[in-house]
């Protein structure tokens, strides 16, 4: 074969190669650009560190005794939860402050908890006159708070505070029902303290009692700390009431009871939960079971095994009986928050939703059936002094008389 022939063949091969390369290039040039590689998602970090829950209440002033009782209950709950591993492995950091027994202190400490300590939820461990202004701070910040024992209706109206104890109106209605339907009272005399809770309580009792067919024959207010009632009780005696309501705090109800019986007023006497304490029993040993007896409101049934076990644990831990006004429901408040945070996390908005949806929660302070506009629905126990102790007289369960509305 000649050199010329080889050259032509080689040239043909080269031409074919060029055509193929160009064709392949054109083909790939018409293809869409390849998609960028899918980025590897960044894993959401698991929450770590403590969960801050805050409490404010009176640790000085005239109601320091009840403030410490509630604080002790809360601390007992925190200790139990943390000893068991915390909330999903995270410890509770419990922050608490003394409000000094003043509305200004309650507001200041509420702001400190929310904006400085950045708690995910709070506990308002004080009476209505302090819980009302403190609740407004939590409402404005949209941080949920539980209310163990303050009972005024305004506390939960802002939407972010939820009662764990009883509103003032519900026990007032229950006591009126018991006085009229069970004790057979038809004439009611009322002397209570100038206080948002007691006034609301008494208002519901008078309203319900008259609606049932009874008559309010005496209605007076006294300042907190009053110890002398002889003049008013003398007026009451002349009216011959079938039942008498007195100031709720045990420091006032003790002299009230003694003076009423001393004047010969022998009708049943009723008080609120602040008299359902050992101090009251000690103070009325001589007259507690004279006449028609003394009836007091309670938040819980002491004979319930769960409640009884808590009382024993509290007394062993602190060396004194647990006060029923604040201790039990403040303990429940911490436990409720821990349960909900364990289910939904520590976002205040989700905690708020979780509390609203809470149903049939059995605590040491009674069973919360459900929440409605911040108010919990629960049965209302009424105790009478018998044999030197509080004995269950009635557990009011009728929806009409335990509803706060």
What's the pLDDT score for residue 41?
Answer: 55
Quote the pLDDT of residue 317. 95
List, as one string, the DSSP characters of 358-392.
Answer: -EEEEETTEEEEEEETTEEE--EEEEEEETTEEEE
Q: Residue 211, CB half-sphere, CA atoms under 13 Å: how many?
A: 13
How many Å apart are CA 338 and CA 103, to the nearest integer? Answer: 28
Helix (H, G, I), strand (E, B) or coil at 48: coil
pLDDT for 22: 46
Same CATH topology for 51-166+302-373 and 169-298+383-402: the answer is yes
Q: Where are the domains of the chain?
A: 51-166+302-373, 169-298+383-402
Q: Where does residue 42 rank: exposed (0-12), middle (13-18), buried (19+ CB within 10 A)?
A: exposed
Give the integer Cα–Cα distance in Å for 98 and 10. 101
Per-residue burial over 65-80, b = 16 or more CB atoms within 10 Å of its CB, e = otherwise:
bbbbbbbbbbbbbbee
pLDDT at 30: 55
Identify each DSSP E strand in 166-267 by its residue range.
Answer: 187-193, 215-222, 243-245
Average pLDDT by stretches of 10, the chain with 405 residues: 48 50 48 55 64 97 92 98 98 98 97 98 94 97 96 93 93 97 98 93 97 98 97 98 97 98 98 91 94 93 94 95 89 98 98 97 94 94 95 94 90
CB distance 331 to 74 below 8 Å: yes
Q: Residue 294 and residue 113: Cα distance in Å, rounded?
A: 41
- The CA distance from 191 to 272, in Å, is 12
- pLDDT of 404 reads 85
CATH of 169-298+383-402, one of 3.40.309.10, 3.40.50.2300, 3.30.450.20, 3.40.50.720: 3.40.50.2300
Q: Which CATH number fits domain 51-166+302-373: 3.40.640.10, 3.40.50.2300, 3.30.56.10, 3.30.750.80?
A: 3.40.50.2300
The predicted pLDDT at position 48 comes to 73
User: CA dist 92 to 17, 70, 74, 78, 335, Å?
Assistant: 76, 17, 11, 7, 11
């Amino acid at each position: 074969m000649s050199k010329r022939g080889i050259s032509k063949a080689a040239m043909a091969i080269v031409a074919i190669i060029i055509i193929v390369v160009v064709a392949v290039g054109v083909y790939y040039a018409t293809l869409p650009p390849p998609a960028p590689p899918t980025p590897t998602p960044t894993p959401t970090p698991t929450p770590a560190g403590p969960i801050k829950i805050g409490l404010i209440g009176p640790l000085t002033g005239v109601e320091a005794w009840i403030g410490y009782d509630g604080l002790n209950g809360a601390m007992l709950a925190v200790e139990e939860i943390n000893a068991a591993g915390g909330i999903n492995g995270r410890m509770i950091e419990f922050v608490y402050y003394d409000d000094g027994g003043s509305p200004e202190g309650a507001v200041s400490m509420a702001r400190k908890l929310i904006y400085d300590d950045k708690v995910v939820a709070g506990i308002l461990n004080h009476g209505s006159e302090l819980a009302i202004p403190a609740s407004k701070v939590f409402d404005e910040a949209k941080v949920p708070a539980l209310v163990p024992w303050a009972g005024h209706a305004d506390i939960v109206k802002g939407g972010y505070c939820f009662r764990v104890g009883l509103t003032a109106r519900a026990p007032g209605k229950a006591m009126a029902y018991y006085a009229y339907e069970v004790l057979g009272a038809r004439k009611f005399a009322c002397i209570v303290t100038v206080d948002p809770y007691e006034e609301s309580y008494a208002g519901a009792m008078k309203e319900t009692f008259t609606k049932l067919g009874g008559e309010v024959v005496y209605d007076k207010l006294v300042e907190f700390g009053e110890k002398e009632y002889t003049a008013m009780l003398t007026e009451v005696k002349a009216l011959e009431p079938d039942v008498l309501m007195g100031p709720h705090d045990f420091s006032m109800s003790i002299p009230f009871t003694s003076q009423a019986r001393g004047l010969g007023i022998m009708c049943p006497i009723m008080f609120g939960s602040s008299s359902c304490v050992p101090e009251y029993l000690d103070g009325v040993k001589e007259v507690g079971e004279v006449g028609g007896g003394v009836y007091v409101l309670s938040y819980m049934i002491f004979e319930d095994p769960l409640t009884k076990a808590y009382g024993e644990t509290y007394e062993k831990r602190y060396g004194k009986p647990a006060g029923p006004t604040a201790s039990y429901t403040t303990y429940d408040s911490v436990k409720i928050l821990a349960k909900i945070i364990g289910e939904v996390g520590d976002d205040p908005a989700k905690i708020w939703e979780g509390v609203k949806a809470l149903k049939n929660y059995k605590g040491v302070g009674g069973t919360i059936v459900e929440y409605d506009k911040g108010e919990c629905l629960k049965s209302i126990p009424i105790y009478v002094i018998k044999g030197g102790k509080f004995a269950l007289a009635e557990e009011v369960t009728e929806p009409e008389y335990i509803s706060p509305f």
